[in-house]
Structure 1
Amino acid sequence: MDRQKAEEHWIGDSSFSKFLSPLDLIELSLVCKSFWSCLSSRTSSTTQMIWRLSREQFLCHPKLPPPADMCEQDYISLVLYNKCHFCKNVYSLTVWVFCRRFCKLCLKERTICYNNFNEAWKKIPLKAIRGLRYIKMYSEIPYTEKYELHRYYLIEDIKTLYDEFIVLALQNKDNDFIASWELDKHMKGNIYMKEISKYSKEQLSVQSTIFRNNMIKLGKILDSLMEEGSIDDNRPKYELDVLYDCLDAKNAFSTTDQLLLNEKEFKIMRESLVAMYPEIKKRHNKKKRKHVL
């Protein structure tokens, strides 16, 4: 199947995406070049519809349409892809304001507050700077143990704004034009920050629901294990504190707010807890003996 025929196939029937999750679509795109061409397009309306239908059908969030200038594939990756966009660290978080995932180190290295601007950047009109996208973080006040809340901007955004300002300066634009430019930047920035806040709010709301539902299911797993009696006596076969350590070893508590786990996944988790219980139990016994000694 050549590219043209493949595209005609997708255009003719995109309803299949309702039966394929985003992960399935990713795997399908790797089957051949034609599938890759169709499913990787950032501009095809049909391709975007395929990914949108899949997202709406299989993902708990995001339900909102993608932010401006973001395609469905990149939008979905912010939820499914758990690595930092820069260093690939798995301990990262989605910063919706910047539409990327950052680890703590990369976020610190790639953002800057106004107090740390170089002299050149401080020549940019403040109103224009205030129109940039930002996050709020605390920074330590020099020579004190106190912290202040500051706006942190992406360094790449500052550089782009500075270059734009320099071009205007070289063109000898009058004060009225500069003032109009500042106001335009400021207004667009305020609109953007208001719109993008919806995504953070949706994520927090959904993650809270997912966490609550997953924790209820985890509780049922623990209850079922605790109800199992020992062969020798009526004591529980499993100890609760050991089971908690098993969950902690599997990093279960840190992932329960990301995706809603289905029954099959919880069954697998239960089996893995049972499998690793003897080893964790041995560690507990060693700790107890040390305390006794």
Structure 2
Amino acid sequence: MPPITDLPPELFIEICTFLPPSDLFILSQVCRKFYGYLCVPTSSTTQQIWKESYSRFIPKENIPQPKGMKTTKYVELLMMERGCQICKQVMRCKIYWEFEVRCCKECFLKKTVTYISI
């Protein structure tokens, strides 16, 4: 039996459209080939796979994808680990959409500069 990495790209893409975003994220970390199919930010096919997946698995009442944000980043922030991406604290984290990061208030204050302090 040939390995799954030998699947034709068209078949792999078709299968991926039926997977939830969390599975796509995990699959993208299996090997370079899958990462290439699922995480190329300039690929319209990549973006379409993620859009179809989150439209199937993320309830419509969730926050809409911000303009200019890649679908992969949107899904990662919304559905992947819930902790701070900086200190890994699990409690009291918030998604700062304009910075494309999920972090706690303490890390946010440490890593950003206010307009007034400039």
State the TM-score, normalizing by the size of structure 2.
Answer: 0.73
Give the match's secondary structure for 1:112: coil
Structure 2 residue aligned with 1:241: none
Give the match's secondary structure for 2:114: strand
Distance 1:63 1:113 in 2: 27
Q: Cα distance 1:96–1:31, how it changes in 2: closer, same or farther (>3 A)?
A: closer
Q: Cα distance 1:51–1:102, how it changes in 2: closer, same or farther (>3 A)?
A: same
Structure 2 residue aligned with 1:30: 29
State the TM-score, normalizing by the size of structure 1.
Answer: 0.33
Cα shift at 1:113: 4.8
* Conserved? CA contact 2:18–2:53, under 8 Å: yes
Alignment of 1:184-263 (within 5 A): none
Cα shift at 1:67: 2.5
The yes-or-no answer on 1:88 pairing with 2:88 is yes
Q: Cα distance 1:45–1:66, how it changes in 2: closer, same or farther (>3 A)?
A: farther
What amino acid maps onto 2:88 in structure 1?
Answer: K
Structure 2 residue aligned with 1:19: 18
Structure 1 residue aligned with 2:100: 99
Distance 1:84 1:60 in 2: 23
Q: Percent identity?
A: 32
> Could you say what the CA RMSD is over the residues aligned between the two structures, in angstroms?
2.6
Distance 1:78 1:22 in 2: 11
Cα shift at 1:85: 2.6
* Aligned length, in residue pairs: 110
Structure 2 residue aligned with 1:164: none
The yes-or-no answer on 1:112 pairing with 2:114 is yes
Q: Cα distance 1:66–1:97, how it changes in 2: closer, same or farther (>3 A)?
A: closer
Cα shift at 1:45: 0.8
Unaligned runs of 5+ in 1: 122-293
Structure 2 residue aligned with 1:128: none
Alignment of 1:267-278 (within 5 A): none
What amino acid maps onto 2:38 in structure 1?
Answer: L
Give the match's secondary structure for 1:93: strand
Distance 2:55 2:106 in 1: 33
Give the match's secondary structure for 2:89: coil
Q: With a CA cutoff of 8 Å and minimum separation of 6, indicate the structure with the bigger relative contact order.
A: 2
Give the match's secondary structure for 2:95: strand
* Conserved? CA contact 2:29–2:35, under 8 Å: yes
* Conserved? CA contact 1:18–1:54, under 8 Å: yes
Distance 2:30 2:103 in 1: 31
Q: Cα distance 1:9–1:22, how it changes in 2: closer, same or farther (>3 A)?
A: same
Unaligned runs of 5+ in 2: none
Q: Cα distance 1:18–1:37, how it changes in 2: closer, same or farther (>3 A)?
A: closer
For residues 7-29 of structure 1, what are the alpha-carbon distances to aligned partners after superposition, in whole Å with 9 as ceiling and x for unaligned?
x624x674433421011112322
For residues 143-192 of structure 1, what are the alpha-carbon distances to aligned partners after superposition, in whole Å with 9 as ceiling and x for unaligned?
xxxxxxxxxxxxxxxxxxxxxxxxxxxxxxxxxxxxxxxxxxxxxxxxxx
Alignment of 1:130-169 (within 5 A): none
Structure 2 residue aligned with 1:73: 72
